[in-house]
Amino acid sequence: MKQLPTATPRSFENKFFLWLLAAVSLAFLWVLSPFYGAIFWGAVFAIVFAPLHARLLKTMPLRHTLAAALALLFILLLVIFPLSLVTALLVQEAGLVIKRMQSGDLSFSVYFQQIYDALPDWATGLLGRFGLTDLNLVQERIAVSLTQGSQFFATQALSIGQNTFDFLVGFFIMLYLLFFFLRDGSALGRRMTDTLPLEGDIKRDLSSKFITVIRATVKGNIVVAMVQGALGGFIFWVLGIHAPVLWGTLMAFLSLLPAVGAAIVWLPVAIYFLATGAVLNGVMLTAFGVLVIGLVDNVLRPLLVGKDTKLPDYVVLMSTIGGMALFGLNGFVIGPVIAAMFVAAWAIFATSREVEPLVPLKPAETTKASPAVPPAT
């Protein structure tokens, strides 16, 4: 009776080590999960500003620590510090707007009524066909939509205010990690790439795609949104509209959504100006919104992103909203990055699985290679 083959001790050790490796990796990720936002943004800033660190290294060879410190100082002065000032102004203006709404000085119902009264007869008749003549009902629907849309952001702002200590701890952890990511990022990236159980070409393609996608997403989405928000806040300030920083920030955020855009903020204001007799302000705002704010996306995004990494607008919209639903405010970057990596990974997979077309054998080669078949009897 034959004895069944048993697993060798070596194979059992390999399986046990793989399970141990998976367990300790998941446990490590669980330990780091409270600060995933700080780790994520530290890695993002390190990838985006890696070319700056490389240029500094050229001027001071073999001085990685000093180059990383100077790059971190540059990021603090030109990125983080201005964002902190804008955030402080935003909180101040948001508080003033809330006080004006509570005191009755700012009433959207009055603005709706003024616009409705200024509409021509054909416009009011068209609204009547759609059942939009009842302003109270329209205002109620708009209020419900705004409440549902702003509930998420209010929750995030409240959580940040209640957990200021956690926010500051995460901020300093991000700066601390950013320094080491800048200094040791290249070696760390090579080590992580070498551990992947993939072929060399696939690993290089995935690594280059990941870096390209991160830079393109940050530059193409965040920079374009900041420019559009700054331009929108500027024209609101020129026209004397209250809280230009608040409305500019809202336009910057909505610019991240391709199907929405900044026009959802400036277009109603332009309509209000035209309806209430401020024709010059309405024309100026409309022209600036269409010719300046609207064209920023068409001009800057191709320059910053490029053709290879540009995703369809519907993919960006769905991945942005889905990312924010899962990861909070960090999701407006995480979502598009995951979507872009999904497309890139499948493209690499399809390319790697391409095979050369089969070449038919010649008749002589076929006869020689195939055994002779005896004739049927």
What are 228-281's pLDDT values in tens digits?
Answer: 888 988 998 888 887 788 888 888 888 877 666 788 888 888 888 887 778 888
Q: What's CA 299's distance to the chain center, in Å?
A: 19
What is the Cα–Cα distance from 70 to 60, expressed in whole angstroms? 11
Task: Specify whether the CB–CB gap between 171 and 83 falls below 8 A.
Answer: no
Reported for 366-372, long-range contacts at CB under 8 A and 24+ positions apart, including other chains, are: none
Q: What is the mean pLDDT of the chain?
A: 75
pLDDT at 357 over 60: no
Question: What's the whole-model pTM score?
Answer: 0.67
Angle (nearest 5°) at CA 199 between 196 and 201: 110
Tokens 């332009």, residue? Answer: 270
Give residue-wise pLDDT tens across range 58-111.
888 878 888 889 989 988 888 888 877 777 777 777 767 667 666 666 656 666
151 pLDDT exceeds 60? no
pLDDT recorded at residue 355: 46
pLDDT at 249: 84
Query: Which pLDDT tens digit goes with each residue over 28-60?
Result: 889 888 888 888 888 888 888 888 888 888 888
pLDDT interval class at 367 (50, 70, 90): very low
Q: Is the dihedral of CA 147, 153, 159, 160 positive or negative?
A: negative
pLDDT at 155 over 60: no
Structural contact between residues 138 and 132, judged by C-beta atoms closer than 8 angstroms? yes
In this predicted structure, what is the pLDDT of residue 370? 47
In the predicted model, what is the mean pLDDT of residues 363-373?
47
Instruction: Report the pLDDT averaged over residues 366-372.
Output: 47
pLDDT score recorded for residue 123? 65
Q: Please determine, for residue 210, whether its predicted confidence score (pLDDT) is greater than 50.
A: yes
Instruction: Summarize pLDDT for 179-207 with one digit per residue, the tens.
Output: 998 888 888 877 877 777 777 777 777 77
d(CA 95, CA 292): 29
CB-based contacts of 71, cutoff 8 Å, min separation 6: 49, 52, 53, 56, 182
Distance, in Å, from the CA atom of 58 to the CA atom of 67, rounded to the nearest integer, reads 9
Question: Do residues 222 and 333 touch, judged by C-beta distance below 8 A?
Answer: yes
Rounded-to-integer distance, Cα 301 and Cα 176, Å: 31
Q: What is the mean pLDDT of residues 338-342?
A: 83
Residue 136, pLDDT score:
61
The predicted pLDDT at position 258 comes to 65
pLDDT(224) > 50: yes
CA distances in angstroms from 375 to 33, 268, 336, 372, listed in the order given: 74, 88, 66, 9
In terms of C-beta density within 10 A (0-12 exposed, 13-18 middle, 19 or more buried), how is residue 213 classed? buried
Kindly give, in sequence order, each residue whose CB lies less than 8 Å from that of residue 174, ignoring residues fewer than 6 positions away.
37, 38, 39, 41, 42, 45
| pLDDT at residue 27 in the model | 92
